[in-house]
Amino acid sequence: MRALTLVADRDLAVSDLPPPPPPAAGEVQIRVAAVALNHIDVWGYRGMAFVKRKLPIVVGAEASGTIEAVGDGVTRFTPGQKVVMYGALTCGHCKACLEGRDNFCENVGGLIGFHVDGFARELMNIPARLVIPVPDGVSLRDAACAPIAFSTVQHMLFDNAKLQPGETILVHAGGSGIGTVAIMMAKAIGCTVITTVGDDSKIEGVKKLGADYVINYRNDRFEHETRKITKKKGVDVVFEHVGADTFNGSLLVMKRGGRLVTCGSTSGPTATINLMQLFQQQYRIFGSFGATMTNIAESLDKMAAGMLPVIDTEVSLDDVGAALKRMESRQVFGKIIVHF
């Protein structure tokens, strides 16, 4: 079967691998249909895996597919059914897993496509408990954006930041995969959305998604513009994933008691913080990594109701290297999808 493997840093190859055996008890076999690219794929491509891993490794951290076969004891799924897969090998029996806090698993076996073989292969076996059904009416292309892009935002905004209807939110990098989703989810509950972009060509696109105000951070300081837009009151929530370049400025634009939720550090992982500002302004800062399986199901329900991902580019397995370089260039608006 065909698979996309990382054989060395920045060196991808389409490989011919043996197909998996029939699924074991409690497993399903999935025929992968679409893989959605994320910055975690870029990190892996660059060699930033944070822990030791063995190369070559099959890449792909977010995907959709159909059930090819089921193992003994599996009753929730049938061949041909559309599904998506959770992106971490959780244990399923620790306290966090039993409470549905999957991204807090105490015995996680690695992130799929990052530490262990990923989804960019024609067939794979996976425990059925890590598989989520796709609702009727949602395409496999769109569903591929649920396990990371949609669910990460769902977890950040509603589990962590507790975003409420009518609040004002600053969404950084509104043209990115998760930025586009954050705009849509915040606007759907009636929030005022301020967003940043790095290119004027993205302004019209984010406005169509629902952004009320757009700041090109290359032309204007987002801190100044956000304070001006809010009449110096500040925003209730900052959706942060850029990192060092924007973190301290994000604190400056929050109102007293504001909430900052972050899931990324694309521009760098290190920032200093004014502790007096932190406690005097009573800011609340949330680190958010991944999501739960419930968040994925919630995301798929939103897709079924009409909230669809923004697709930048669709490519074949042979063109993933060029697609990752496009992501590195920050020219992407929305998601890049890889089709098998």
- Cβ burial of 198 (10 Å; 0-12, 13-18, 19+) is middle
Give strand pairing partners of 204. Answer: none
pLDDT above 90: percentage of residues in the chain: 85
Angle between helices 320-328 and 39-46 (to 10 degrees): 100
Q: What is the tens place of the pLDDT at every residue in 120-168?
A: 999 999 999 999 999 999 999 999 999 999 999 999 999 999 999 999 9
Q: 7 CB contacts (<8 Å, ≥6 apart)? A: 13, 55, 56
Give the pLDDT confidence of 295-332 residue by residue, as tens digits. 999 999 999 999 999 999 999 988 888 888 888 887 89
Query: What pLDDT is stored for residue 147 in this prediction?
Result: 98
pTM of the model: 0.95
Residue 183 Cα to chain centre, angstroms: 14
Question: Average of pLDDT values for 27-40?
Answer: 94
Domains parsed from the chain with CATH numbers: 2-148+291-339 (3.90.180.10), 161-287 (3.90.180.10)
Rounded Cα–Cα distance for residues 60 and 5 (Å): 9
CA distance 180 to 335: 9
12: Cβ–Cβ under 8 A, 6 or more apart, which residues?
Answer: 4, 5, 6, 45, 59, 320, 321, 324
pLDDT in tens, 217-264: 999 999 999 999 999 999 999 999 999 999 999 999 999 999 999 999
